[in-house]
Structure 1
């Protein structure tokens, strides 16, 4: 999974699980803040990767990354999101807790952490 894909999946997972709007995030592995926004209303997700100027979203359980022209599946179970990135042919698991998303990228066999910046609005 590409690093930018992990980040937008993490932001989207947080928006889906918490109902909060993500206004940005900090990628601990990269050591940088990323301009990524995401929100979820019902089963519709919309997100924007400001660094790539690429949209991401659609209707759950399949979301589309317009920049990579690929689909990513999302299966929500409480605070856990699982899915498959068709672009890299890899599975992932994301755990959402207290403003942090920990994402396990199976193709890398590694956990990645993202701290969310959220707006006050739901």
Structure 2
């Protein structure tokens, strides 16, 4: 469903929405979709996977959709691309990201290292 979002798997209440093709970019032209390239990730909650990663570090994205969780406490990070969108969620032993850590240079390698050594309770 283009405007209302798409139902998720039912793990968390919310929607997945496509970026709007008419979102204006900094130059006044519509933003390109898919969102492809390096963008800052703004940490919204403390989490062991952020250890050693600066708030605002850049990660690599390739996507046309973003999640909109009903429970805002799940939001671990946001990113701006014509609008602020959720780029990571976390709860319990789950940590999910919209970006590609494996393509995100030092910050991505640090996140993956943190994931391998993470011992969620």
Work out whether the TM-score is over 0.5: no
Q: Which has the higher helix share?
A: 2
TM-score with structure 2 length normalisation? Answer: 0.27
TM-score with structure 1 length normalisation? Answer: 0.27
Q: Which has the higher strand share?
A: 1
**Larger-Rg structure:** 2
